[in-house]
Chain A
Amino acid sequence: MYQNQSVVQRTADSVLSTNKVLRNTYMLLSMTLLFSAVMATVGVTMQVSYGAALVADIVAIAMLWFVLPRTANSATGIPVLFAITGLLGFGLGPVLSYYLAINPSIVMTALGGTGVIFLGLSAYALTTRKDFSFLAGFLMVGMFVILGAALLNIFLGIPALFLTVNAAVILIMSGFILYETSQIIHNGETNYIMATASLFLSLINLFQALLQILGAFSGDD
């Protein structure tokens, strides 16, 4: 009897802690998305060059790899996360300026589409409570192959490869959303700052890939 009570108590504690991580992650994610959108607007208004955007992306990724893991367990992690998401938003400036100039509706469609995909996948992971930890290897290999193909296409410039890479990014980022949400549910990820960073990266990559695909198929590109 006492043992059963202990198990129930531990399960209840686990559910409460999961809910707390999930709630904090979604709250921080919405704030960072808002901040990133503001920084993207700044990037568009300032008409930043592709070079400046690349520098912003490099600084953001360097902070993500080397600074965030060291600060994620302290209050310093939050300003670091805002700096990263702000820089990544700012880095979207030239791409957004380009599509806003040729067809603004593509940007709105990509934005809405990203939102629907994220909400749909999150709802699926949350309602089924399926453990997607088996996806880790597949997603990392997929990401590695995508980076290799993107690298190759910088020199080859094949439009079909460009579209294939963007389509693959959409699929892999969808997988990452399912994986990360299930990690939070099953206590695989207990740090909401790291969880937010991971979901933010999936969202921004998903948005950019969707924007490129819609741009290519709209006939305006």
Chain B
Amino acid sequence: MDWLKIGSALFLVAMMVLIFPQMRKAVKTAPKGTAKDWQAFLLPVIGVVLFVILLIAMVR
């Protein structure tokens, strides 16, 4: 195993360690979304998915 893989792995582990407390806080304190809120989020996300599929079709 080369040092680049070890370095990348250590970098990702450090990121996970740094993110973990923020993630726990966000899960505990963030307001819960209603079905309508999630719909409002899914709409643009579906748009992004369709757009990425279009881009993939363009480069194939």
Interface residues of A (CB under 8 A from B): 50-51, 54, 57-58, 61, 65, 103, 105-106, 109-110, 113, 116-117, 120-121, 124, 128, 130, 132-137, 139-141, 143-144, 147-148, 150-151, 154-155, 167, 170-171, 174-175, 178, 210, 213-214, 217-219
Contacts and interface: CB of A to CB of B under 8 A. Distances in A.
Nearest to A206: B48
Given A58-B11, A105-B59, A174-B48, A134 B33 contact: yes
Given A128-B40, A217-B60, A154 B12 contact: yes
A147 B41 contact: no
B37 to A, nearest CB: 5
Interface of B: 3-5, 7-9, 11-16, 18-20, 22-23, 26-33, 37, 40-41, 43-45, 47-49, 51-52, 55-56, 58-60
Contacts of A132: 37, 41
30 contacts: A51-B3, A51-B4, A57-B11, A58-B7, A58-B11, A105-B59, A109-B58, A113-B51, A120-B47, A120-B51, A133-B30, A134-B33, A135-B30, A135-B41, A136-B26, A137-B26, A139-B26, A140-B19, A140-B23, A140-B26, A141-B27, A143-B19, A144-B16, A151-B12, A170-B48, A174-B45, A178-B41, A214-B55, A217-B59, A217-B60
Nearest to A216: B56
B8 A133 contact: no
